[in-house]
């Protein structure tokens, strides 16, 4: 029987973070206060499309980059 970890360690924008598992990209963005905001997410050097956020798991030891988009003039 495979055990699901109760906590994971990820590297988010270059800094380690300790989070509860299981976790999706959507749940991570929500915990960061970025749900529904225009962001670009890269998970282990692969871009994740917004339509895939709810179904994309964040594994232990994942490396993520989250970039917020801002309009300006």
Cα dihedral value 48, 2, 20, 11, nearest 10: -50
Average pLDDT over residues 6-15: 94
Q: What is the per-residue pLDDT across 14-53, written as a single tens digit (0 to 9) for each? A: 999 999 989 999 999 999 999 999 999 999 999 999 999 9
Superfamily grouping for domain 7-68: Beta-grasp domain (3.10.20.30)
Domain boundaries, the chain: 7-68
In this structure, the strands spanning 7-12 and 63-68 are: parallel
Q: How many whole angstroms separate alpha carbon 44 and alpha carbon 3?
A: 23
Sign of CA dihedral 33, 40, 67, 24: positive
In this structure, the strands spanning 7-12 and 15-20 are: antiparallel
pTM value surpassing 0.85: yes
Contact 48, 42 (CB under 8 A): yes
pLDDT at 73: 59
Average pLDDT over residues 47-64: 97
């Amino acid at each position: 029987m495979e055990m699901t970890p109760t906590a994971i360690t990820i590297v988010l924008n270059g800094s380690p973070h300790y989070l509860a598992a299981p976790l999706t990209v959507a749940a991570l963005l929500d915990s960061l206060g970025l749900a529904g905001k225009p962001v670009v997410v890269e998970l282990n050097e692969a871009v994740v499309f917004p339509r895939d956020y709810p179904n994309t798991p964040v594994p232990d030891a994942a490396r993520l980059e989250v970039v917020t988009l801002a309009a300006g003039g």
